Each structure stands twice: as C-alpha cells, then as structure tokens.
Amino acid sequence: MRAMIQTERWASRGGLARFVTVAVLWITPVTSSAQENEILARGKLEYQGYCAVCHGENGKGDGIMARYLLIKPADLTQLSKKSGGDFPFWRTYWTIDGRQEVRSHGSRVMPIWGNRFRLEEGPEGPAAWIDLARGRIWQLVVFLQSIQEF
C-alpha cells in the first residue's frame, strides 16, 4: 500500500516519467551519428558562448579573460587525465549546475553562467525551464567529454 501511494505521488508530479526517461536515455546508446553530432554541436555552442572567454577556444584555460583572473581557469581538456583516465561526467555536470563549488566562479547563488542556465523561465513554467537548463548542461558536458586529451 505504501509503495502504491509513493508511486502515485511520483506519477502525479511527473517525477517517475522524468526518471524513466532519463534512465532510458542514459542506458540506451545513441546509435545515430547525426544525433551525436547535433549534441556535440549544441554543446560546443554553449561552450563558445559561456566558457571560452575564460577557458579558451580549445579548453586549455587560456581564454582572453584568463589574464585578468586571480585564479587561472582550469584546462578542461585534462579532466579525464586528472580523474585516472575516466571522464568525471557527474562531477563536471554538478560543477556547471552549481552543486559543486568552484572558487573562481563566485557564489553558487549567482554563478557567472547563471543567466543562461538558471534564469530563462519560459511560458511553459518552471518544470520546462529546469528541463531546458538540464539539457543545455548535459550537452555542454558531452562536449567537454569530447575534447579530453589522454
């Protein structure tokens, strides 16, 4: 009975549907190179628009604003190498979404990329806005994974 009530709560909030969708997408390999290219292209656009100014065009930490920062931007091509050869997907995701603090980015309440990933609430309401932000972050992380040097 308790499990049934919990399931009804998840279903009523859309939580179960979102969880199942994410799980299926995470488990199912993307087989279409066109889809992969689209994800990478969108991630690259996010990167160029919001990260390259500090982290550099190629992710080496040598962007045009890097010389003005007290803390040198990370070389984003070395994330896998620094993690023992495995790309730290979730740690990277959580850094971008604000769950993991990055001193050089400032307050977690208003990270430097805040307007793009947090404040674009559309007419569909907060749930659609959150999904849109999560998608942008996911595409960005997939792009960062693609530029790793080993």
**pTM of this prediction?**
0.67
Q: Is the pLDDT at 95 greater than 70, yes or no?
A: yes
Give the mean pLDDT of 61-77. 93
Q: Is the pLDDT at 11 greater than 80, yes or no?
A: no
Say if CB 92 and CB 144 are below 8 A apart.
yes
Give the mean pLDDT of 91-106. 74
